[in-house]
Structure 1
Amino acid sequence: MLTEHFTTTHWWIAAVVSGLALATAVATLATTRRAKVAGAVTVTAVTGLYTGLKGTGDGAVQALQLYILGTLSLAILRLVFAGWLRRQRERHEAGEPPEQPTARHIAVFLATFAAIVAGIAVTL
């Protein structure tokens, strides 16, 4: 593990950074400024509040690690699928129906998600 020397404070700092990464990823999915702010604040507040409540006592480090694992995975997936999401937005703006994900899209998504989770879990 690369984080053996982390204290609880280090984990909280990492959790804040990963929460901000998720907030940024969520904000890029919205089309209006109001939706961007609302989405970013809501996701960050709800997940942060839950982690804050669970992140006290003996399970603090484990709760923070799971939070980081989840938020970073989603933020990285947003980057990986940026092209496909951009095409979906372009179709929406042109008045076309969204492209339905194929079995290949779903398989790539699941494989990518598993690889990201495994990679982050190894570093935690």
Structure 2
Amino acid sequence: MLTSSLSPGQWWIAAVLSGAALAVAAQSMATTQRDKLIAVSLPLAGAVSIALASAARGYEGPMPLVLYTATMIVLVVLRIVFAPYIARQLRLKRAGRPMEEVTRKQSWIFLVVFVVTLVGVAFAL
């Protein structure tokens, strides 16, 4: 674990930075004002969700911050990995054309990349 010696204060910094990174990554996919508002709210929605789930499970200390940071990092990494596909879809949408349908093969690729990314981030943290 690369972060086994982080203090709670350092976890707060990591959580804020990872949330900001997700907000930026999500903003890059927004095409309307409504989408931009939703993109900015994603880190906040994630924080509320993880805080409630952590409280329900009795997680204490920095564990909720670790979970939040890991979740935000995974989503940002997926945005980077799938950047070419997302850019192509956004070009179609901005041109007023329908976006491409996701194929079964693309869904499987996404699922595999998601799991590999999740395991990699969990191992690194």
**TM-score interval, normalised by the smaller of the two chains:** 0.7 to 0.9
Distance 1:97 1:14, change over 3 A: same
- Unmatched segments (≥5 aa) in structure 2: none
Q: Aligned with 1:59: secondary structure?
A: coil
The CA deviation at 1:96 is: 2.2
Q: Distance in 1 between matches of 2:40 and 2:29?
A: 13
Q: TM-score, normalised by structure 1?
A: 0.85
Equivalent in the alignment of 2:66: 65
Alignment: residue pair count: 122
Does residue 88 of structure 1 match 2:65?
A: no
Matched ranges for 1:1-124 at <5 A? 1-32=1-32, 35-36=35-36, 38-51=37-50, 54=54, 59-124=60-125
The CA deviation at 1:34 is: 5.9
Q: TM-score, normalised by structure 2?
A: 0.84
Q: Distance in 2 between matches of 1:107 and 1:49?
A: 29
Q: Name the Cα RMSD after superposition.
A: 2.1
